[in-house]
Amino acid sequence: MENILIVKDLFVQVEGKEILKNFNFSINKGGIHAIMGPNGSGKSSFVYTVMGHPNYVASQGNITFLGKNIAALSPDKRAKLGLFLAFQYPHEIGGATVFSFLKEAYTIKVGKLVTMAKFSDSLFKNMDALEIDKSFAYRSLNEGFSGGEKKKLEILQMLMLRPKLAILDEIDSGLDVDSLKVVSEGILHAKKENPDMAVLIITHYQRILKYIKPDFVHVMHDGEIKKSGSFLLVKTIDLHGYSEFING
């Protein structure tokens, strides 16, 4: 089993406060992992560290992606390697249409000019798969979008950019039942189109995991992985919450 992301003995600080400690984690090529835990457990801090957020300083340990130490790489270079983050709270960017934003990102990703016709065909095909009206392509990025529409757009980006590791930071938050199903089906569609892509789902709850069954589940609290196991861990959390992992 080939690991594409390896995190070893990682300690991370924000403004001098330690938020991750002795953190060890790996994800395999094509695998689906879930990190679960209560608010404030460090899940998003781990994600931001992997993506290279400048406020998250690794004081010890290392992060290796595709065999390369990425500690010195800027977020854009990490993304070009194949890391992708779907945000919990996507930003609105007025003046940049969804079409122009995605075409620029796609061109940078593939490293060559792409004809308008070829890009449009791919974009609209993926929008159809996510039940996104084509008119959204000509609207400003996330501006005036509902929470569900923003999350669908995050998955559209993932479909277009075909990352090697897609990190979904609480992609299920704020979604109604119908939107959750569409977003989940979009993730599974992306996985089918790109089977070597690994997926890391960050979540509090088990509801998205009913649609996307992870190969491995990790329970996080107080900046550490407290337990790792199979999907059975999700059922334990659903029945008993996080108390047994927090208290013992």
Cβ partners under 8 Å of residue 30, min gap 6: 195, 196, 197, 198
**R_g over Cα of the chain:** 18
The pLDDT of 44-73, averaged and rounded, is: 93
pLDDT of residue 103: 94
pLDDT level of residue 54 (50, 70, 90 thresholds): very high
Q: Is the pLDDT of residue 141 over 80?
A: yes
Q: Over the stretch 23-47, which tens digit does the pLDDT of each residue have?
A: 999 999 999 999 999 888 899 999 9
Task: Please answer whether residues 60 and 10 qualify as being in contact, where contact means their C-beta atoms are separated by less than 8 angstroms.
Answer: yes
Q: Over the stretch 191-234, which tens digit does the pLDDT of each residue have?
A: 998 999 999 999 988 889 989 999 999 999 989 999 999 998 98
Q: Over the stretch 70-121, which tens digit does the pLDDT of each residue have?
A: 988 999 999 999 999 998 888 888 889 999 999 999 998 888 888 899 999 9
What's the predicted TM-score (pTM) here? Answer: 0.92
Task: Please answer whether residues 234 and 209 qualify as being in contact, where contact means their C-beta atoms are separated by less than 8 angstroms.
Answer: yes
How far apart are alpha carbons 243 and 248 in whole angstroms? 8
The pLDDT of 51-57, averaged and rounded, is: 93
What are residue 35's DSSP bridge partners? 202, 218
180 burial level (CB within 10 Å; 0-12, 13-18, 19+): buried
pLDDT level of residue 247 (50, 70, 90 thresholds): low
pLDDT of residue 39: 85
Q: 193, 183, 136, 133: which is closest to 160 by C-alpha?
A: 193
Which domains are assigned to the chain? 3-247 (3.40.50.300)
Q: Is the pLDDT of residue 8 over 80?
A: yes
Q: Is the pLDDT of residue 246 over 80?
A: no
Per-residue H/E/C for the chain: CCEEEEEEEEEEEECCEEEEEEEEEEEECCCEEEEECCCCCCHHHHHHHHHCCCCCEEEEEEEEECCEECCCCCHHHHHHHCEEEECCCCCCEEEEEHHHHHHHHHHHHHCCCCCHHHHHHHHHHHHHHCCCCHHHHHCEECCCCCHHHHHHHHHHHHHHHCCCEEEEECCCCCCCHHHHHHHHHHHHHHHHHCCCCEEEEEECCCCHHHCCCCCEEEEEECCEEEEEECCHHHHHHHHHCCHHHHHC
pLDDT of residue 241: 84
Token code pair at residue 90? 């996507």
187 burial level (CB within 10 Å; 0-12, 13-18, 19+): buried
pLDDT of residue 248: 55
